[in-house]
Amino acid sequence: MHKKKDLTPRQQKAIKITALIVAVLVLSALTAAIAIPMLSFAKDPILFRDWVDDHYILSALIYIGMVTFQIVAAFVPGEPFEIAAGFAFGPVYGTILCFIAEAIGSILVLLLVRKFGHKLLEVFFSKDKIDSLKFLHSSKAKILIFAIAFILPGTPKDLLCYFGGITDIPLLVLILITSFGRIPSIVTSIIGGDAVGNGDYTFAIIIFSITLLVSGIGLVIYNRYRKRKAAALDPHIDDESHS
């Protein structure tokens, strides 16, 4: 009998990444199967909230599953899910559910990245986006900088969460930052969603407008700091930006 050839580390990693992609696709299909009926309910706020009231535990579990998937999948925007929590569950319960779901998603991402490494990032993000955060590796105050970047409104939290997994920042610290650092975004989105659900559209517009403005300012601050640090690591970057 011929001995079965052992797989090389590269082949093993390829199989693991393929399995992960398949799992994401399957989860996407299941999420769509659940989300589509829920979205049809959302067209009628009264009918939708009645359904949530009648299936409180089920709807909460479905919501947690959808948000967890959104965090892991990375390419799905998270704000609509946060707004939906305020709309469907109200400000208090919606905030709690959203925090739990996003914390679970963040923990899963960090564990997956610690398991599969840099290659997993390349499944969801371009090399340029990954390279743009390399300054975190060399910074002496990386924990503080990572925390500020994550809490700052408008920053790419999914990218930061994935990238955090390949840094040498302790896992528990990363979990705390990526979980609690989302709270400002969660609270503002849920307040706006609750206002929409109550028909207070003027207040909702004010909340979303302020959130958009603050997020824009936060993104500008983040990008300027990131580019300055990147230029310090590689002076050619600064030269190219002025050419």
Q: Provide the token pair at 180.
A: 């609690």
CB-CB contact of 192 with 182 (8 Å): no
For 142, the domain range is 10-241
pLDDT digits (tens, 9 = 90+) for 217-232: 888 888 888 788 766 6
Please report the pLDDT score of residue 232 as a whole number: 66
**pLDDT above 60 for 38:** no
CB-CB contact of 133 with 112 (8 Å): no
4 in a structural domain: no
5 in a structural domain: no
Please report the pLDDT score of residue 92 as a whole number: 92
Query: For residues 77 and 31, what is the distance between their CA atoms, to the nearest angstrom?
Result: 14
pLDDT digits (tens, 9 = 90+) for 63-86: 888 888 888 877 677 788 888 888
Please report the pLDDT score of residue 31 as a whole number: 58
Please report the pLDDT score of residue 103 as a whole number: 93
pLDDT digits (tens, 9 = 90+) for 173-215: 999 999 998 898 899 989 998 888 788 889 989 988 998 898 8
Compute the half-sphere exposure of residue 179: CA atoms within 13 Å on the CB side of its CA.
17
Please report the pLDDT score of residue 1 as a whole number: 47
Please report the pLDDT score of residue 175 as a whole number: 93
35 in a structural domain: yes
**pLDDT above 90 for 13:** no
3 in a structural domain: no
Query: For residues 102 and 74, what is the distance between their CA atoms, to the nearest angstrom?
Result: 12
Query: Mean pLDDT in the chain?
Result: 79
Number of domains in the chain: 1
Identify the CA nearest to 227 among candidates 217, 240, 215.
Answer: 240
Please report the pLDDT score of residue 101 as a whole number: 92
212 in a structural domain: yes
131 in a structural domain: yes
Q: Check residues 33 and 148 and name the one with the higher pLDDT.
A: 148
pTM comes to: 0.75
Query: For residues 164 and 171, what is the distance between their CA atoms, to the nearest angstrom?
Result: 9
pLDDT digits (tens, 9 = 90+) for 142-183: 888 889 888 888 888 888 999 988 888 899 999 999 999 889
237 in a structural domain: yes
Give residue 117's identity as a one-letter amino acid code: G
